[in-house]
């Protein structure tokens, strides 16, 4: 059965998608031989996972009871999926020490085994190309962030396909940040995922070398929410779900970083591409659809990908430096960042948490008395803050309070319209500034150790990228390697 979806743009009508209906369901994914599709579908009390054989259109259901979702194929014909079977209430599960949560299971040849366990959410798994490792989204670890204002959003973890202890691949100890739906490129070199930096931010597609995921970059426009990335067999392009202004709803986009463009392929969500690169699979209104990819590409509108601000080279000599201070001091300031990339760093030791906010260092400019600042708030959480073009505050915040008496190294970096905070060499937060950053051009002075009890040492600031922080790779650099 072929379904055509038309949408109106002004007075005209544009045929956006024409797909063959396969089954009722969503989140479909091709097997490695291209002969079957695993998907999720509604079931009494939740969802279930099934396998559709394309030649016969017959479905084998892999689960019965509970709720199962997010299937993914392994090279050996196994299917990993997320499974929830938690009959107890949340309070009862805590009281009884239950390990049941939303965890991963693996099906193969009619048999099922538990892969992860814990009172958290493990979901959206995918296999490494060699089938030895499963990457997935998880909220494991959020219990470490009690009512101090910090919490951990979903992070990316990995576990051996044979089971065992999982390990963290990418985790943000910061309020309202998350990395979900990890997808490894066919050559195993690049890792893509859906990423959100915080409140009012849009979901975007992030990419990094699999060996250094913290040095990531975003490849989708900041004003276009995007999620569910999946690689094409060529390992150079990917499909995802996204929505731009004037789109009729969630649409399937093809992202082509090497060509600097993206194409809207269909109205729908959760795309995948067959192993031979010929067939597009997606869902729309609860129906799995497939379409000829080449024909869809030929008719697809093309949009130019914006070119992000390039990451600067490693810094040279600092623009300013202060050895140490335990009291408020003011120093001459000659650094004129304007729109250029710059960084500021220091080592800080708190005697106590400030009653309001304690400034480690701030740059006073005629444009703003706090054009940039590293500070600690009344909960002891560090931040790197600047001002938007309209003068309002924006900042990158850590997720955990600093421990009094312990020395920390804090680094704030501004590149283009993005600010980043690093704590002891780890990325704590990265925030895109939607209105653009107020450019500090007319320096007044540098203020150190203001409104705090403690010590600030080894204070430095300068242009470009600090030498002791891993420098992210630009999209062009990643895909051009």
Residue 468 burial (CB count, 10 A): 12
The residue count for the chain: 481
Residues of the chain with pLDDT > 90, as a percent, come to 68
Instruction: Return the pLDDT at 7.
Output: 33
Q: What is the pLDDT of residues 305-331, one digit of tens each?
A: 987 777 888 877 899 999 989 999 999
What is the model's pTM? 0.83
DSSP letters spanning 127-150: E-TTSSEEEEEE-TTGGG--SSS-
The half-sphere exposure of 44 on its side-chain side, counting CA atoms within 13 A, is 2
SS3 (DSSP) at 414: strand
- Domains located in the chain, CATH noted: 2-304 (2.120.10.30), 320-463 (2.60.120.200)
Q: Are 449 and 359 in contact (CB under 8 A)?
A: yes
Share of the chain above pLDDT 70, in %: 89
Tokens at 148, concatenated? 């101090």
Q: Which mean pLDDT values do the consecutive 10-residue runs of the chain (481 residues) have?
A: 36 45 96 97 92 96 91 97 75 59 92 91 96 95 48 83 94 78 97 86 92 90 94 96 94 95 96 97 96 95 83 85 93 94 96 94 96 96 93 86 96 93 90 88 97 95 90 84 62
Q: Residue 286: phi, psi to the nearest 5?
A: 80, 15
Q: How far apart are the first and last CA of the chain?
A: 43
Q: Tell me what pLDDT residue 414 has.
A: 95
- Tell me how far apart the alpha carbons of residues 413 and 425 are, in angstroms, rounded to a whole number: 12
3-state secondary structure (DSSP) of residue 476: helix
Where do the H-state alpha helices sit in 128-250? none
> What does the alpha-carbon distance between residue 264 and residue 301 come to, in Å, rounded to a whole number?
6
Q: Are 235 and 479 in contact (CB under 8 A)?
A: no
111-114, strands of its sheet edge to edge: 67-73, 79-84, 102-108, 111-114
Q: Which of 148, 196, 174, 142 is nearest to 429 (CA)?
A: 174
354 closest CA partner among 454, 457, 447, 448: 454
pLDDT at 148: 36
Greatest distance between any 2 Cα atoms in the chain: 77
Three-state DSSP class for residue 378 = coil
Which pair of tokens denotes residue 189? 């070199």
DSSP string, 77-94: S-EEEEEE---S-HHHHH
Give the whole-angstrom CA distance, residue 136 versus residue 278: 27
């Amino acid at each position: 059965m072929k379904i055509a979806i038309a949408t109106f743009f002004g007075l005209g009508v544009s045929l956006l998608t024409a797909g063959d209906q396969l089954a009722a369901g969503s989140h479909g994914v091709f097997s490695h031989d291209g002969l079957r599709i695993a998907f999720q579908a509604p079931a009494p009390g939740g969802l279930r996972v099934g396998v559709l054989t394309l030649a016969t259109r017959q479905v084998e259901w892999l689960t019965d009871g509970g709720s199962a979702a997010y299937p993914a194929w392994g090279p050996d014909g196994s299917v990993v999926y997320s499974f929830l079977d938690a009959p107890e209430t949340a309070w009862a599960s805590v009281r009884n020490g239950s390990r049941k949560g939303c965890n991963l299971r693996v099906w193969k040849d009619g048999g099922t085994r538990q892969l992860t366990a814990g009172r958290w959410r493990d979901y959206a798994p995918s296999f490494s190309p060699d089938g030895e490792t499963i990457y997935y989204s998880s909220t494991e670890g959020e219990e470490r962030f009690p009512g101090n204002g910090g919490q951990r959003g979903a992070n990316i973890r990995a576990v051996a396909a044979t089971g065992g202890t999982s390990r963290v691949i990418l985790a943000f100890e910061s309020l309202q940040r998350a990395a979900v739906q990890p997808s490894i490129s066919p050559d195993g070199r690049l890792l893509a995922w859906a990423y959100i930096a915080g409140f009012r931010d849009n979901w975007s597609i992030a990419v990094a070398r699999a060996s250094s995921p913290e040095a990531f970059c975003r490849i989708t426009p900041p004003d276009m929410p995007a999620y569910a990335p999946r690689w094409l067999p060529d390992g150079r392009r990917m499909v995802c779900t996204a929505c731009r202004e004037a789109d009729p709803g969630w649409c399937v986009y093809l992202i082509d970083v090497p060509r600097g463009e993206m194409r809207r392929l269909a109205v729908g969500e959760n795309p995948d591409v067959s192993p031979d690169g010929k067939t597009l699979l997606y869902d729309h209104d609860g129906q799995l659809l497939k379409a000829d990819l080449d024909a869809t590409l030929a008719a697809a509108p093309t949009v130019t990908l914006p070119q992000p601000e390039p990451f600067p080279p490693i810094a040279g000599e600092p623009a300013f430096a202060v050895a140490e201070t335990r009291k408020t001091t003011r120093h001459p300031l000659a650094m004129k960042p304007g729109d250029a990339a710059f960084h500021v760093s220091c080592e800080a030791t708190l005697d106590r948490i400030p009653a309001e906010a304690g400034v480690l260092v701030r740059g006073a400019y005629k444009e703003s008395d706090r054009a940039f600042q590293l500070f600690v708030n009344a909960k002891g959480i560090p931040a790197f803050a600047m001002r938007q073009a309209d003068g309002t505050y924006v900042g990158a915040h850590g997720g955990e309070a600093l421990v009094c008496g312990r020395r920390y190294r804090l680094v704030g970096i501004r590149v283009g319209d993005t600010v980043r905070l690093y704590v002891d060499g780890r990325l704590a937060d990265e925030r895109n500034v939607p209105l653009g950053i107020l450019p500090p051009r007319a320096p007044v002075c540098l203020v150190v150790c203001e409104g705090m009890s403690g010590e600030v040492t080894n204070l430095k600031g300068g242009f470009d990228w600090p030498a002791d922080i891993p420098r992210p790779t630009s999209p062009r650099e990643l895909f051009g390697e």
